[in-house]
Amino acid sequence: MEEKFRIRSYGYGELAQLYFPNITKKSATWQLRIWIVSSVSLCEKLESVGFVKGKRLLTPIQVKLIVGEFGEP
């Protein structure tokens, strides 16, 4: 049985690999970054809750915003 996605703290690369499981961690991280920066409203929301470029750990609130924008991985 497949485990349901859970909102919690994730490493940036860990979350990226959930969205892009068939590519390397580095490529997945880059692709997630492209998705995020292409959404101005998401960038603004993430910054308002403390997200900064290069941060390696995402808080549950930040994960919730990302999932709200792109859907569950």
State residue 25's pLDDT score.
96
CA-nearest of 5, 6, 9 to 49 is: 9
> What digits encode the pLDDT tens for the residues 17-30?
999 999 999 999 99
Report pTM: 0.92
Which has the higher per-residue pLDDT, 68 or 54? 68
Per-residue pLDDT tens over the stretch 3-54: 789 999 999 999 999 999 999 999 999 999 999 999 999 999 999 999 998 8
The span from the CA of 58 to the CA of 45, in Å, is 13
